[in-house]
């Protein structure tokens, strides 16, 4: 799953791969990586464990034979599929993490091919798995509903937030802002052009925001989603740059209509920045009372929420304090410890 720009599922796999070997030093861990290996720019996220290159790419036509061939050769006591790419043709002990039901729940993502993959590969293999993990109560309910699992088959282990996500020194923020041509005050929107990420609602509201909006959604997203000219678009940034970008923001805006978890909300709160998120998906569960939750469909509601937050210093300070406290509850160390406990149970199961 780790290829190109990092997304939430890729980060999940990397964070576990970095931590699990230290929690069980008598065990032997290895990582199944893409045919071309892991990206060079991972830096501290690069796991220091043996890497086995898959013979075929993620969701390619030869993925399933490739997975079976590799796992039969390597003979692991347990394989953890960290996404919906599960080995249908390999009969060994499997733990699978299903992050959400996006490809089944959302019409725009639910192509016939993807539905077929879930029905013919994911569901039958996961029914035979020794354990299933998901990342939120929201996702547990969605997966149970769309795949017909009993909810108790899915153990909820939340994602974490890395210690690197903390408020950057002001000098680093100022340097980043100067290099990227950002104003002294700005808002940040994070997402991508996929319809469920719902950035279009911010495109409708952005001209009414009291501070300029900085869009981090991939190259060309501003034009594709018809954001107004005053919106500033950034190309992909490194983790260090992301921390500086977030730290300098008045608020981070996350309008997605469907998130299995919503890691950017945690990362923003850990940096001491208020979050305004859609009242949808797992955001209410992850953000709770530590952020502002807004209807995902109302541009007017987003305009009002952003305007109040920009004007009200007391509200911002309160949300910063609540956000730091809430983000501290979610750590990758806890996620790794709970995941290791799942492995132990899976290995002991008949």
Q: How far apart are CA 118 and CA 126, in angstroms?
A: 10
The confidence band for 40, taking pLDDT boundaries of 50, 70 and 90, is confident
Do 8-160+332-348 and 170-327 have matching folds? yes
Topology annotation, domain 170-327: Rossmann fold (3.40.50)
* pTM (whole model) above 0.75: yes
Domain boundaries, the chain: 8-160+332-348, 170-327
pLDDT digits (tens, 9 = 90+) for 141-169: 999 999 998 888 999 999 999 889 999 99
pLDDT digits (tens, 9 = 90+) for 275-289: 999 999 999 999 999
What pLDDT, on a 0 to 100 scale, did the predictor assign at position 61? 86
What pLDDT, on a 0 to 100 scale, did the predictor assign at position 235? 82
pLDDT digits (tens, 9 = 90+) for 280-321: 999 999 999 999 999 999 999 999 999 999 999 999 999 999
Asked whether the beta carbons of 310 and 210 are under 8 A apart, the reply is: yes
Per-residue pLDDT, averaged over 203-212, amounts to 96
CB-CB neighbours of 318 under 10 Å? 14
- Whole-number percent of the chain with pLDDT over 90: 83
**Would you say residue 2 has pLDDT above 90?**
no
Q: How far apart are CA 94 and CA 286, in angstroms?
A: 28
For the chain, what's the residue count? Answer: 350
What pLDDT, on a 0 to 100 scale, did the predictor assign at position 44? 82
The confidence band for 1, taking pLDDT boundaries of 50, 70 and 90, is confident
Which residues make beta-bridge pairs with 188? 214, 252
Which structure tokens are listed for 189?
A: 């929107």
What pLDDT, on a 0 to 100 scale, did the predictor assign at position 305? 98
Could you say which architecture CATH assigns to the domain 8-160+332-348? 3-Layer(aba) Sandwich (3.40)
């Amino acid at each position: 799953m780790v290829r190109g720009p990092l997304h939430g599922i890729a980060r999940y796999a990397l964070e576990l791969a970095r931590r699990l070997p230290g929690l069980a030093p008598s065990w032997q861990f290895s990582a199944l990586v893409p045919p071309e290996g892991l990206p060079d720019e991972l830096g501290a996220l690069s796991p220091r464990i043996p890497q086995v290159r898959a013979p075929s790419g993620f969701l390619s036509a030869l993925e399933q034979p490739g997975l079976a061939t590799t796992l039969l050769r390597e003979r692991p006591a347990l394989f953890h599929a960290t996404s919906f790419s599960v080995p249908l043709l390999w009969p060994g002990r499997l733990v699978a993490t299903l992050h959400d039901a996006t490809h089944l729940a959302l019409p725009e993502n639910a192509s016939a091919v993807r539905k077929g993959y879930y029905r013919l590969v994911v569901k039958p293999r996961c029914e035979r798995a020794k354990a299933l993990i998901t990342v939120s109560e929201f996702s547990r309910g969605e997966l149970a509903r769309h795949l017909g699992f009993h909810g108790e088959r899915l153990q909820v282990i939340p994602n974490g937030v890395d210690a690197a996500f903390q408020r950057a020194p002001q000098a680093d923020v100022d340097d980043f802002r100067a290099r990227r041509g950002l104003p002294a005050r700005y808002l940040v929107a994070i997402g991508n052009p996929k319809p469920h990420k719902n950035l279009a609602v911010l495109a409708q509201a952005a001209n009414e925001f009291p501070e300029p909006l900085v869009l981090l959604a991939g190259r060309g997203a501003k034009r594709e989603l018809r954001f107004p000219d005053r919106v500033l678009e950034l190309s992909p940034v490194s983790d260090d740059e992301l921390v500086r970008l977030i730290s300098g923001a008045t608020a981070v805006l996350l309008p997605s209509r469907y998130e299995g978890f919503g890691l950017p909300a945690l990362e923003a709160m850990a940096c001491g920045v208020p979050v305004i998120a859609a009242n949808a998906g797992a955001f209410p569960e992850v953000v709770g009372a530590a952020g502002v939750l807004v209807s995902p469909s109302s541009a007017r509601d987003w305009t009002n929420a952003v305007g109040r937050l920009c004007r009200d210093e007391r509200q911002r300070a309160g949300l910063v304090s609540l956000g730091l406290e809430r983000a501290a509850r979610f750590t990758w160390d806890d996620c790794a410890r709970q995941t290791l406990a799942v492995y132990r149970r899976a290995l002991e199961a008949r």
